[in-house]
Amino acid sequence: MKAGIAGAGMIVPTFMEASRLIPELEVKAICGTERSKEKLEKLAFEQQIKEVYCNYEEMLTDRRLDVIYVAVPNHLHASFVQKALLAGKSVICEKPFCSNFKQAEALASLALEKGVYLFEAITNQYFPNYQKLKELLPDLGAIKIVEINYSQYSSRYDAFLKGEILPVFDPMKSGGALMDLNVYNIHFIAGLFGEPLEVRYFANVAQGIDTSGVLILRYPGFVCSAIAAKDCKAPCCINIQGDKGCIISDSPSNVFTHFRYEKNHGTGQLYELNEVKERFYHELLTFVHMVQTGDHSLHKEQLKRSLTVQKILDEARRQAGIMIQE
């Protein structure tokens, strides 16, 4: 399976590190803008990518490429994904999936219509730790409280305070703490419990964008709080509390390196099952296996979860008065 990369940001080396561990996935090309050609060529040289494009449409005509990894700024995801799908390419799209639910729904339908695969690059769903957590979840009994906090002071926040608006804090470019960090928490929760009954978002908003916030998701019998911040920091946590036990972790939800399962009356156990340190490895391995085996059931399942998450993101931003990019 041969891949092309759209984008030349900091995430690309991380993607490359993981892809090298998967023999069936070979990156053949990378595409950026003419303006960043020098940076692009340097990146291609460092990552041993042979073909460099400064025109996305031209890269999509490359018949060697089976899949496109879309790693452009958030607000460009939908247009880049659509062009790749129309060109008959499968797509791995960086999170967040799209700028709004309407875009996500249309792209999911297009992928199914074209018979190609569309996959949101969200790390936590595919970790062995997460799969083990799902297995243990019924042992917790009736779930009562779920709490996830992924707070990380952003180096770009200082620039934001001085009036320099970079994409991660730009409402016109689908930025904000919800779209950048809380999206991991939401996927973590939705992957376990599905679509919530109610969404409430209490955000700290400055210059039209959420720099931090507390998202409340209500499910039958319990509530989840998903906290994310780029304007302050705190220890990360993942706590799932049931009436027979709990699962606790101090790992960020995007890497989920470990967790502890504790019964109310008995001993606990620590799980560290991920083994491979490259955080993209398990999601890429899942994608390759899904495509090679033609696993349409898994494809539809992960598309459904991405649409659920997108719906939550839209409703939360609407409540906070944050512009939703069309």
| Domain residue extents for the chain | 2-94, 128-320
Residue 13 has pLDDT above 90, yes or no: yes
Does 98 score more than 90 pLDDT?
yes
Helix then strand count (H, E) for the chain reads 11, 14
Burial of 295: CB neighbours in 10 Å, binned 0-12, 13-18, 19+: middle
- CB neighbour class for 8 (10 Å; exposed up to 12, middle 13-18, buried from 19): buried
Residues facing 29 on adjacent strands = 4, 51
What's the average model confidence in pLDDT over 104-115? 98
Please state the length of the chain. 326
User: Which tokens go with 318?
Assistant: 């609407």
- What DSSP designation does 144 have? E
Residue 237 confidence (pLDDT) above 90: yes
Pairing of the two strands 237-242 and 143-151: antiparallel
- State residue 25's pLDDT score: 97
Q: What are the beta bridge partners of residue 54?
A: none
Q: How many CB atoms lie within 10 A of CB 22?
A: 17
Average pLDDT over every residue of 247-260: 98
Q: Chain-wide mean pLDDT for the chain?
A: 96
CATH superfamily of 2-94: NAD(P)-binding Rossmann-like Domain (3.40.50.720)
DSSP character string of 203-252? EEEETTEEEEEEEEEEETTEEEEEEEESSS----EEEEEESSEEEEE-S-
The predicted-structure confidence for 21-67, as pLDDT tens digits, reads as follows: 999 999 999 999 999 888 899 999 999 999 999 999 999 999 999 99
pLDDT score, position 69: 98
Pairing of strands 259-263, 268-271: antiparallel
What pLDDT does residue 322 have? 96
Model confidence, pTM: 0.96
Strands of the 222-229 sheet, one edge to the other: 198-206, 209-219, 222-229, 143-151, 237-242, 245-249, 259-263, 268-271
Distance (Å, whole) CA 291 – CA 298: 10
Where are the alpha helices (H) located in 87-154, listed in sequence order? 101-114, 128-136
Dihedral (CA of 224, 225, 230, 235) sign: negative
SS3 143: strand
With cut-offs at 50, 70 and 90, classify the pLDDT of residue 277: confident
Residue 267: the pLDDT is: 84
> Which residues, 6 or more positions from 208, have their beta carbon under 8 angstroms from its beta carbon?
171, 322, 323
In this prediction, what percent of the chain has a pLDDT beyond 90?
95
**Please, which pLDDT band fits residue 183 given cuts at 50, 70 and 90?**
very high
Report the half-sphere exposure of 226 (CA within 13 A, side-chain side). 26
Residue pair 71/11 in contact by the 8 Å Cβ criterion: yes
Number of Cα atoms under 13 Å in the Cβ half of residue 114? 20
- pLDDT reading at 326 higher than 90: no
pLDDT at 276: 86
Model pLDDT, residue 325: 85
Residue that wins the pLDDT comparison between 1 and 326: 1
Which CATH number is associated with domain 128-320? 3.30.360.10
Whether residue 68 has pLDDT greater than 90 = yes
What Rg value do the Cα atoms of the chain yield, rounded?
A: 20
Q: Over the stretch 284-295, which tens digit does the pLDDT of each residue have?
A: 999 999 999 999
